[in-house]
Chains A and B, each alone.
Chain A
Amino acid sequence: MKEQPDNTITVLMMGNPNVGKSALFNRLTGANAVVSNYPGTTVDYTAGKLIEGHTTYEIIDAPGTYSLEPHDAAEKVAVLLLDERRGDVVMIVLDATKIERGLYLAFEIMEREYPCIIALNMTDVAHDKQIKVNAAGIQRLLGIPVVETTAISGEGVKKLAGAIRKAQVADMDAIRKRLEGSGEDRDETVPCPGCGGCRGCG
């Protein structure tokens, strides 16, 4: 990942609405956040600083979106922030109780070859609902750091901050091969012909 001359690395937080992006953002940045209006829109986004070791990160909390084909103005701003490479690193935030839905966006971002890390948030809710999430398995499969967090208690946030510098560009071919190897991506009942490591053929 490239560092700007002043040693600041920008981190763009992306995720579906309501996954806890802003709660995580607040935990990461504390009380120094600045709200900006995206030019030409009525959409605001928030940026703040995180100092971790000797590195200063500028963290940007993008509006929530379900995909990179925007449906409304807020989603469009999220996609523009990504397109403009406002993040040296993209932090993909997933709701641990709704992983499959969030992975759609995650794969779209990974395909664009940004250095990424994943925050698997809402682990407390997943635990309460007895949803077991194999974070280590997802990390192995995707080849990018995956950190479990609970934004409201702050659990995992320090680890997440430390993992930013380990961000990786996902190797989509390698992911596809690992999926084909394990066959774990298949739904039990309906095979998915013709696409290889599929992320959801209609």
Chain B
Amino acid sequence: MLKTLSTLEFGETGRVTEIRASRHELNCMGLRTGKKLKMITRQPIKGPVVVLIDEVEIAMGLDLAAQVTVNIE
């Protein structure tokens, strides 16, 4: 099932299938297509959204998270 990262529930895991924002922005933090991630925190309104990838926490704004598509397994 595909979801945007901004709608993932706490504790939910999935694999990144598409990044519509500037890739550079997220790639340099270690978030890229194909990576598995887990939702840690999702604050409302502007974020932050914090996900765990390879045991590294990555924080971003809600806007950016809305541009990332994740396949829930």
Residues of A participating in the B interface, judged by any CB pair closer than 8 Å: 66-67, 69, 97-98, 100-101, 104-105, 129, 187, 189-190, 192, 199-202
Contacts and interface: CB of A to CB of B under 8 A. Distances in A.
A201 B23 contact: yes
19 contacts: A66-B28, A69-B24, A97-B55, A100-B54, A101-B29, A101-B30, A101-B56, A104-B27, A105-B28, A187-B34, A187-B35, A190-B17, A190-B33, A192-B33, A192-B34, A200-B32, A202-B23, A202-B32, A202-B33
Contact of A189 (B19, B28, B34): B34
Contacts, number: 47
Nearest to A68: B28
Contact of B24 (A67, A101, A190): A67
Q: Of B15, B28, B55, which is in contact with the most chain A CB atoms at under 10 Å from its CB?
A: B28
Given A101-B56, A189-B15, A201-B32, 15 more contacts: A66-B29, A69-B24, A98-B54, A100-B30, A101-B28, A104-B28, A104-B30, A105-B28, A189-B34, A190-B15, A199-B27, A200-B32, A202-B23, A202-B27, A202-B32
A34 to B, nearest CB: 30
Nearest to A71: B25
Counting chain B residues whose Cβ lies within 8 A of the other chain, the interface size class is 10 to 19
B26 interface: yes
Contacts of B32: 200-202
A129 B56 CA distance: 13
Which 5 pairs of residues, A with B, have the shortest CB-CB distance? A202-B23, A190-B34, A101-B30, A202-B19, A187-B34
Contacts of B35: 187
Interface in B25-55: 26-30, 32-35, 54-55
B28 A67 contact: yes
Contacts of A129: 55
Contacts of B30: 98, 100-101, 104
A65 B58 CA distance: 14
A190 B17 CA distance: 8
Contacts of B15: 189-190
A98 B27 CA distance: 13
Q: Of A69, A189, A202, which is in contact with the most chain B CB atoms at under 10 Å from its CB?
A: A202
